[in-house]
Structure 1
Amino acid sequence: MIDRAEITVGYLHACGDLETFLALAGDAELRSRSAGTRWTNEELLFHMVFGYMVTRRLLPLVKCFGRLPPSVGNAFAGLLDAGTKPFDWVNYWGSWAASRVYNRHRMARKLRRVTTTLAANLETESHASLGLQMAFPTRWDPFFRPVMTVADLYAYPTKHFAFHAQQLSFLPHTPE
């Protein structure tokens, strides 16, 4: 059973965390390399926001494929997995370029708008709609599972955000 309130609280926490990260980081920290990625901290922060943006765009796709035979979704996911190398290139350079537009001055506003829309849409989803599912390209993201429901997708970006927050090099991190 999906806990809509828990997902919405996760969105609110991500917004608050992003605003805190941006307040803590000066120019030098934002221009510094993140830990474990090729991005700077500012580029990584945008990539964390981008997880919410892409979720908003993936929802109609999951709803569409969720109404088709599973074999269609499996074939599509296989095709996407086969394109992992080009995806990785686009993912890296797309976040690099987009961080110039949605930089430290704009990304918090963007995240608030996107999460507000996601939360409002989540509230209107029927139980049947939340259960629609499709196969996902598991090589694209560690949080993509072989099959994900609409409900899973609503929860995805907050997991993505929290994972990458551990890679911000200007924050003190506790060992796992």
Structure 2
Amino acid sequence: MERTKTEILAGYSRASHDLDAWLKNAGDADLRRRSNGTRWTNEELLFHMVFGYMVVRALLPLVHVISRLPEPAGKAFAAVLNAGTQPFDVVNYWGSRAAALVYNKQRMRRKLDKTISAISRRLERESFKSLARTMPFPDRWDPFFMPTMTLTDVYAYPTLHFDFHARQLSPSQPPQISHQKPDSDKPPGSPVT
């Protein structure tokens, strides 16, 4: 089911509040603790959750361009990316570990807020027609990437990604958050982490 701009923006706002709750309640031991079901620590996983929004910010111009190309060009692009899934998984894992050193507990909330602000402004400017544009996606890269996604799907993606990984955090005291189970027509798999 396609989400509306209002629903997508509400998801962004909730994720920002949820991250704030996690960070306020997490002590150093919580941040260093291994997350559930990944090789990341909680702090590295929190950054990876923020990174989903950063990815979308980078993807938006690409989707606008590729969605205007002939369909075979988009499918070829997605096929090339799918062929590179294994190297992507390695970069995704080590990149989140390294980036968490920079965007640590003190910095990741500001990074998320800045990123959400940028993609929210862009979403507000999108027309109904542009949100309906489609592009083939490398569906082996992430359980929430589908073979073909609308621009609306791309805007909704980072909150699905955030919510999926939020269930893998392992704090000693769960924070009081407004976490809701993500809606997804595609059941999430286990991303390589």
Alignment partners' CA distance in 1, 2:67 and 2:140? 20
CA deviation map 1:131-173 (0-9, x unaligned): 111111111000000001111100000000000000001165x
1:167 paired residue number: 168
Q: In structure 2, the residue corresponding to 1:110 is in which secondary structure?
A: helix
Q: Which runs of 4+ in 1 moved over 2 A?
A: none
Equivalent residue for 1:43?
44
Partner of 2:74: 73
Count of residue correspondences:
174
Deviations 1:88-142, CA, capped at 9 Å, x for gaps = 0000011111010100000001101111111111010112211111111111000
Structure-2 residue corresponding to 1:12: 13
1:29 corresponding residue in structure 2: 30
Amino acid of the structure 2 residue aligned with 1:21: W
Which residue in 2 is equivalent to 1:62? 63
Describe the superposition over 1:30-61 as per-residue Cα deviations: whole angstroms up to 9, x where unpaired: 00100000100000000000000000000111
Q: Give the fraction of aligned pairs with identical amino acids, expressed as a percent.
A: 60
Residue 144 of structure 2 corresponds to residue 143 of structure 1: yes
- State the alpha-carbon separation in 2 of the partners of residues 93 and 125 from structure 1: 34
Residue 87 of structure 2 corresponds to which residue in structure 1? 86
CA shift, 1:2, in A, is 4.2
The answer to whether residue 172 in structure 2 is matched with residue 158 in structure 1 is no
CA distance in 1, matches of 2:37, 2:131: 34
Runs of 5+ in structure 2 lacking a partner?
A: 175-180, 182-193
* Partner Cα separation in structure 2 for residue 19 and residue 121 of structure 1: 23
**Higher helix fraction (1 or 2):** 1
**SS of the residue aligned with 1:112?**
helix
In the alignment, which residue of structure 2 is the partner of 1:102?
A: 103
Q: How far apart in 2 are the matches of 1:164 and 1:2?
A: 20
What's the TM-score, normalizing by structure 2? 0.87
Aligned-partner Cα distance in 2 for 1:17–1:97: 23
Partner of 1:128: 129
* Aligned equivalents of 1:38, 1:29: Cα separation in 2: 15
Give the TM-score, by structure 1 length. Answer: 0.95
